[in-house]
Amino acid sequence: MKKQYITLGMIASLMSCNTSNDTDKKEESKTVQIEETISKEGSSEILLYNGEKWKVNEEMLPHIEKSEAVFTAFEGEDYNQLSKGMMSHTNNLIQSCTMNGASHDELHKWLHPHIELIKSLSEKSAQEVEEEVLPAIEKSFNTFHKYFE
């Protein structure tokens, strides 16, 4: 009897997957692809392109700049709100991703740890955020500017 309920549940789950629209499927596919790339390259050292900075596509760069502006302008102690503001721009960055090849891979080496820092704004104590996370985010943006333009 339990097997029948499990089987019915699996069938219902599969059928509900077929009712989603193409946009949802494309976004899900893109998210999975990005997460796979991040997990493969997240801890690697960022390299310059023949001694030069990597070019970030014009569709993507404004989202990084806006996230940095939110961070720089922040004056308060509501780190959860700061995290939400920065993450909103980071999600827009991911959705606007049109890069590919080596520049894409190098950007992900920076992006994955940066996202983890943004998430930690709402996960750590105020003291940890002030002593560790905020300086690390500032350093992360400095790293971005060192390797990308």
- DSSP for 5-65, please give it: HHHHHHHHHHHHHHTS-HHHHHHHHHHHHHHHHHHHHTTSPP--BTTBPBPPPTTTHHHHH
The predicted pLDDT at position 18 comes to 37
pTM for the predicted model, two decimal places? 0.70
The predicted pLDDT at position 9 comes to 41
Mean pLDDT of 72-98: 95
The predicted pLDDT at position 53 comes to 96
Q: Name the residue with higher pLDDT: 17 or 135.
A: 135
CB 90 within 8 A of CB 19: no
Percent of the chain with pLDDT over 70: 71
Confidence of residue 122 (pLDDT cuts 50, 70, 90): very high
Q: Average pLDDT over the chain, rounded to whole?
A: 80
Mean pLDDT of 67-85: 96
Q: Name the residue with higher pLDDT: 21 or 46.
A: 46
Confidence of residue 44 (pLDDT cuts 50, 70, 90): confident
The predicted pLDDT at position 74 comes to 97
Three-class SS state of 78:
coil
Residue labelled with tokens 């899900």: 28
CB 40 within 8 A of CB 134: no
- Enter the tokens of residue 137: 């985010």
Sign of CA pseudo-dihedral 127, 128, 131, 136: negative
Helices and strands in the chain, H and E counts: 7, 0
